[in-house]
Chains A and B, each alone.
Chain A
Amino acid sequence: MIKTSATIAGVHFKNPIVMASGTFGFGREYGKLYDVSLLGGISGKGLTLHAKAGNPGVRVYETASGMLNSVGLENPGVEAFLAKELPYWETLDTARIVNLGGNTLPDYVLGAELIQRDADARLLTGKKAVDMIELNISCPNVKEGGIAFGVKTPAARDVVRAVRAATSLPLAVKLSPNAEDIAEMAEMCEAEGADAVSLINTISGMKIDVRRRRSVFNNLYAGLSGPAIKPVALRMVHQVARRVTIPVIGMGGITTATDIIEFIMAGATVIQVGTYNFMNLRAGSTLTEELQQFMAEENISSLDEIRGIV
């Protein structure tokens, strides 16, 4: 029997494969293509306190081995999520992670409070609640908030501290590769009581349309994801895992079972899969199968055997 499960702050992940925020919606669409309950977890589309329309203009551009996106956190807002999407999540047998973004510090706090209150009410009535909050201080595609909080440790500390005080739910903080010092950022999160750190978000990038002599994106810059960023992500996960004792949720360019193993060997407890969901709409089912197969071939009976061995 091959063991792929892991636990983070009491939350059970049946396998290390979690779908990354912004690439999986709230799971409904993929749920029509395969049984998403076979996943370790789902991190929902990034939410803000109020609904957001996102960025105008072109929102996606392909690059060598990757893609740039400029979605700009289009989302229905926390309340609409709790009312319309959480009931669907209740029907799933997988870890439910809410990805929470914000424009201002009070937005983050009010969002976290709403989620906490909803969870309290659900637990009282015996219903399933959100399992974890993933605090997004690292979206490169929104002007205020997002990345502004994710680059400098003192600014990030304020948000993490305020949100930690607002919720008792397990809390992961999602870090940006654009942070000045990502390992220092992770240490700060641990010191402030975060239960995990997840990394990396997309890398700020650019594409210029040379004929029109302008950036293809209205926002000038966009977030790079996909296989192109995997080496950077892996290095950062390795660096961070050595500096903190809380679990690391690793992601960036994962498309194969061996990519997953690399992140686990670098020290990740579970991993997330983002852009690969677009390359293969059945990524979750493909990867769970491939991982079992690879572990059998390599005589790995549990991911604990190899976690952080590099």
Chain B
Amino acid sequence: MATVISNERLGDGVYHLVVEGGNGGAMGQFYMLRAWGAYPLLSRPLSIHQVNDNGVDFLYHVVGEGTEILAGLNPGDSLELEGPFGTGFPKVEGKVALVGGGIGIAPLYYCAQELPDSDIYLGFSRESFRTDAFRPLAAELTVDVGGLILDSVDFAAYDHIFVCGPHPMLKAAQLKRIAVETSGKRPNVYLSLENRMACGIGACLVCSVSCKDGQRKACADGPVFLAEEVLFHD
């Protein structure tokens, strides 16, 4: 059990939830959240936005039933937290770019804290949020609203690039990596995938990801994968 410390609305359907409880975690890991009884049936996966002194922060976008319930939580309310789960971003050395699209910026805040001096790229389709929180953590901060944030990132300039965002953005990042590889540069591009999950711990196989070496589990082997490992089918 965890307790809501605050649940602040940041903008259009975006909330910052701070809870007391949980078991910390590493960059790119996630928790399964549940603030209801039997229904909705499944718990919801949310990335660790930040590990605070007594618990964890989440940044989430209201898209449906579950996140709507989360949005109604008030300080003092309790919720169930299972985690941290998953294999997140590696602790790397070298020149790092953190690239987030929309709510995909959520896990990158913790990365920014753990990897100071990273260049941070945040892209939004309509309105930006949390950019002021990122600013002091970035070597350089690039914010884009309405365009394609990946266009601003020179893949050849980095040793490691962490990407989290909508599906088309992840595919585009994979293609961009292939393009830059032909010019002799080989940045390690890491993608954080958001497959639908049921158990979150690696037991049910509904989150399966097709990879070069066979099927992997988004919840346990991922959610973070090297871009060249993932086979995007659609």
| 1/0 contact string of A63-98 vs chain B (CB within 8 Å) | 001110101001000000000000000000000000
Ordered by A's residue number, 16 sampled pairs between the chains whose C-beta atoms are within 8 Å are A23-B199, A23-B203, A32-B201, A54-B208, A56-B210, A59-B207, A61-B196, A62-B40, A65-B41, A69-B206, A71-B204, A71-B205, A226-B41, A275-B41, A277-B203, A281-B200
Q: Which of A6-50 contact B (CB under 8 A)?
A: 22-25, 29-30, 32-33, 45
Q: Indicate if the CB atoms of A67 and B208 lie closer than 8 Å.
A: no
Q: Indicate if the CB atoms of B203 and A227 lie closer than 8 Å.
A: no
- The yes or no answer to A309 lying at the interface (CB within 8 A) is no
> What is the distance, in angstroms, from B18's C-beta to the closest C-beta of chain A?
23
Q: Indicate if the CB atoms of A25 and B41 lie closer than 8 Å.
A: no
Q: Indicate if the CB atoms of A278 and B202 lie closer than 8 Å.
A: no
A contact patch SS: loop
- The yes or no answer to A4 lying at the interface (CB within 8 A) is no
Q: Indicate if the CB atoms of B41 and A66 lie closer than 8 Å.
A: yes
Q: Which of A145-181 contact B (CB under 8 A)?
A: none
Known: A74-B208, A278-B198. A30 touches B203 (CB 8 A): yes
Total residues of chain A contacting the partner, CB 8 A: 32
> Which residues of B sit under 8 angstroms from A22, Cβ to Cβ?
204-205
Least CB separation from A27: chain B residue: B203
> What is the distance, in angstroms, from A20's C-beta to the closest C-beta of chain B?
11
Q: Indicate if the CB atoms of A24 and B198 lie closer than 8 Å.
A: no
Known: A23-B204, A30-B203, A60-B196. A54 touches B215 (CB 8 A): yes
- The yes or no answer to B144 lying at the interface (CB within 8 A) is no
| Given A25-B202, A69-B198, A227-B41, 8 extra CB contacts under 8 A | A22-B204, A22-B205, A53-B210, A53-B214, A56-B233, A278-B198, A278-B204, A279-B41
- The yes or no answer to A296 lying at the interface (CB within 8 A) is no
Complex Cα–Cα for A66 and B204 (A) = 15
- The yes or no answer to A58 lying at the interface (CB within 8 A) is yes
> Which residues of A sit under 8 angstroms from B234, Cβ to Cβ?
57
> Which residues of A sit under 8 angstroms from B198, Cβ to Cβ?
60, 67, 69, 278
> What is the distance, in angstroms, from A219's C-beta to the closest C-beta of chain B?
13
- The yes or no answer to B42 lying at the interface (CB within 8 A) is yes
Complex Cα–Cα for A45 and B202 (A) = 12
Least CB separation from A61: chain B residue: B196
Complex Cα–Cα for A67 and B204 (A) = 13
Q: Indicate if the CB atoms of B201 and A62 lie closer than 8 Å.
A: no
Q: Which of B186-202 contact A (CB under 8 A)?
A: 196-202
- The yes or no answer to B178 lying at the interface (CB within 8 A) is no
> Which residues of A sit under 8 angstroms from B7, Cβ to Cβ?
none
Known: A25-B204, A67-B198. A255 touches B233 (CB 8 A): no
Which B residues are within 8 Å of any A CB, using their own CB? 32, 38-43, 82, 196-208, 210, 214-215, 220, 233-234
Complex Cα–Cα for A65 and B198 (A) = 14
Q: Indicate if the CB atoms of A62 and B204 lie closer than 8 Å.
A: no
Known: A29-B220, A67-B198, A278-B199. A62 touches B205 (CB 8 A): no
Complex Cα–Cα for A227 and B37 (A) = 13
Q: Indicate if the CB atoms of A29 and B41 lie closer than 8 Å.
A: no
Complex Cα–Cα for A278 and B200 (A) = 8
Least CB separation from A227: chain B residue: B38
Least CB separation from A23: chain B residue: B204
Least CB separation from A66: chain B residue: B41
Complex Cα–Cα for A255 and B41 (A) = 11
Complex Cα–Cα for A23 and B203 (A) = 6
> What is the distance, in angstroms, from A60's C-beta to the closest C-beta of chain B?
4
Q: Indicate if the CB atoms of B202 and A29 lie closer than 8 Å.
A: yes
Known: A22-B204, A25-B204, A45-B205. A255 touches B199 (CB 8 A): no
> Which residues of B sit under 8 angstroms from A23, Cβ to Cβ?
199, 203-204
Q: Indicate if the CB atoms of B215 and A278 lie closer than 8 Å.
A: no
Known: A255-B38, A278-B43. A25 touches B207 (CB 8 A): no
Known: A226-B41, A227-B38, A281-B199. A59 touches B215 (CB 8 A): no
Known: A74-B215, A277-B199, A281-B82. A54 touches B41 (CB 8 A): no
Q: Indicate if the CB atoms of A54 and B43 lie closer than 8 Å.
A: no
Least CB separation from A54: chain B residue: B208
Least CB separation from B198: chain A residue: A278
> Which residues of B sit under 8 angstroms from A58, Cβ to Cβ?
196
Complex Cα–Cα for A58 and B215 (A) = 14
Known: A59-B208, A60-B196, A281-B201. A65 touches B82 (CB 8 A): no
Complex Cα–Cα for A69 and B207 (A) = 11
> What is the distance, in angstroms, from A64's C-beta to the closest C-beta of chain B?
8
Q: Indicate if the CB atoms of B201 and A29 lie closer than 8 Å.
A: yes
Most buried by B among A275, A277, A278: A278
Complex Cα–Cα for A75 and B205 (A) = 9
Complex Cα–Cα for A60 and B234 (A) = 17
> What is the distance, in angstroms, from A43's C-beta to the closest C-beta of chain B?
12
> What is the distance, in angstroms, from A251's C-beta to the closest C-beta of chain B?
16
Complex Cα–Cα for A67 and B207 (A) = 14
> Which residues of A sit under 8 angstroms from B206, Cβ to Cβ?
59-60, 69, 71
